[in-house]
Amino acid sequence: MAGGSSVQFRGKRRRMMSEINVVPYIDVTLVLLIIFMVTAPMIVTGNIDLPRVGASSADPPTAIEVIIKKDGSHAVRKREQGAKETVVSRSQIDETVRALTTQPNTPIIILAEREVIYERVAQVLSQLQAAGLGRVGLAVRQQ
C-alpha cells in the first residue's frame, strides 16, 4: 500500500452508545446534599434584643398632632389630656409645630379624615419634612 493510508477495521463495527451515564451526577448530588446537611445547623439566625418594659429611664416626648379635615381646614395640638386644637392655615403648620415642640426629636403624627385626598396629606408631610421636622408619622385606626 503505497501512498495512501487506509485503515480497515476487522470484526464488529462500533455503534454509538445512546445512554447517559448518570453515576457522576448522582455522586455530585450526594456530596452537595451532605455539605448542605452539615452546614445548615451552623447558620446563625439573627436574634433581636428587644427592650423590656421599664428599661427606659426617660419619659417619651409628648407627640404633636397635625389634623387634616375633609373640609380643607388644618389644626395642630399637643397629644395630651385636655389639649386644645389650634386652627391654622397650611402655610403656618410648620411654624406652629415648631413652636409647640419642647425637645428636638418630638414625634409628629398626622391625623387625616378618611375622605381627605391623599395628595393633601402628602403635601403636609412634605412640608413638615422640608422644615426639618423629621419624625413624622401617619395615624391609622386599628380594626
For position 142, what pLDDT does the model report?
Answer: 60
Q: Are 59 and 71 in contact (CB under 8 A)?
A: no
Under the banding of pLDDT at 50, 70 and 90, the label for residue 34 is very high
Residue 107 maps to a domain: yes
Each residue's pLDDT tens digit, 82-116: 778 888 988 888 888 888 887 778 888 888 888 88
pLDDT of residue 28: 95
Note the pLDDT of residue 2: 55
Q: Is residue 48 part of a domain?
A: no
Residue 68's CB: how many other CB atoms inside 10 A?
Answer: 21
- What range defines the domain where residue 102 resides? 64-138
Determine, yes or no, domain membership for 16.
no
CATH number of the domain encompassing residue 77: 3.30.420.270
pLDDT tens digits for range 51-87: 565 544 555 568 888 888 888 889 998 887 777 888 8
* 37-49 pLDDT per residue, tens: 999 888 776 665 6
Q: What is the 3-state secondary structure (H, E, C) of 60-115?
A: CCCCEEEEECCCCCEEEEECCCCCCCEEECHHHHHHHHHHHCCCCCCCEEEEECCC
Number of domains in the chain: 1
Say if strands 136-138 and 64-68 run parallel, antiparallel, or are unpaired. unpaired
